[in-house]
Structure 1
Amino acid sequence: MLVTLAVTITIVLIIIVAALLRIDNWSRDFTENSAAVEADFADPVSTIDSRLQQWIADQSRWDIQSKTESDGTIEYEITRTTPVFRFVDDIEIRLVLGDDGTNTRITATSQSRVGKGDLGQNPRNLSELLKALQMPSE
C-alpha cells in the first residue's frame, strides 16, 4: 500500500514538473488561453494547402473538422488534443493569396476550450504548425 502511494505521488510530481518545464512565458501562460499568429510564405495557396493537409494527416493529435474555400481563400477549423488530460484546442487557419498573387498569407488562432491559462500550449500549437508548413512536403 505504501509503495503504491509512493509510486502514485512520484508519477504526479513528474507530470507537474514536466508541465512546469514547458512554460515559456510565466506572465502569459497562466492568464491567457489563446494565441494568434500571421505569416507570409513564398509558396502559392494550393501548395500550402496540400502541405497542411498532409501534415495533419500524419499527426495523431490534430484533426480537420471543416474546410471552406471561396475566392482564393481557404479556411480550416482544426482540433488538437493534448496527450495526457485530453484537453482540446480549437485552431482556425486562414490561407489567403498574397498581394503579389503568388505568395500565401496565413493567419491562425489557437484557443483552449477550458481553463484560464494554457501553460503555453496554444503558442506551441501555432509554432508547430508554422514549422511544419515551412518544410516542403515529401
Structure 2
Amino acid sequence: MGLIRWFTQNIADTDTNTHADVVPQRYPIAASDAIDRIRAIVQTLPRWQVVESAAEAGTLRLTRRTRTLRFVDDITLRIVPTESGIELHARSQSRLGKGDLGQNRRNLLELFAALRRDLGA
C-alpha cells in the first residue's frame, strides 16, 4: 500500500489519516504565543517560507520548496487551544502531480521535529 500511495497521493494531513505517523501534535505553549513562535521556527528552516499568518484565526500558511526540482508544496497549520497548551493540525499538499513520492509526509515530519526541538512535546 505504501508504494501505491507514493504514486497516487500528493497530500499529507493530520485530520484525514493519510499516514499513520502524521497526527495532530500537542505542544505546551500558550495559544496566544503560538503563531509568533511557530513563525520564528519556520523561518529558520531551509526552503520554508511563511506566506500568511492570521493570529485571530489561529492559522499559518507556509510553503516549502523541494531541493532538486524546486517544486512548491503548500502547508496549512491550524492551532487549537487546549488546557495544557495547543494542538497543531497540519496539511501539506503538492501543487503539481498526482503523487508526491512521500514528500508531503516528510514536510510535516520535518516541521514537527523542528517544533518539538524548540517548543517541547
Q: Which runs of structure 2 are paired with 1:52-131 in the superposition (5 Å)?
A: 52-70=38-56, 73-98=57-82, 100=83, 102-131=84-113
How far has the Cα of 1:60 moved from its partner? 2.7
Counting aligned pairs with the same residue, the percent is 37
Give the superposed CA RMSD.
1.6
SS of 2:55's equivalent in the other structure is strand
Query: Which whole-Å CA distance do the structure 2 matches of 1:121 and 1:115 have between them?
Result: 12
How far has the Cα of 1:46 moved from its partner? 4.0
How far has the Cα of 1:114 moved from its partner? 0.2
Relative to the length of structure 1, the TM-score reads 0.72
Relative to the length of structure 2, the TM-score reads 0.81
Consecutive unaligned residues of structure 1, counting only runs of 5 or more, are 1-24
Instruction: Decide which structure has the larger Cα Rg and report it.
Output: 1
Higher helix share: 1
The aligned length equals 109
SS of 1:126's equivalent in the other structure is helix
Whether contact under 8 Å (2:35, 2:55) holds in the other structure is no
Q: Which has the higher contact order (CA 8 A, sep 6+)?
A: 2
How far has the Cα of 1:130 moved from its partner? 0.8
Partner of 1:43: 29
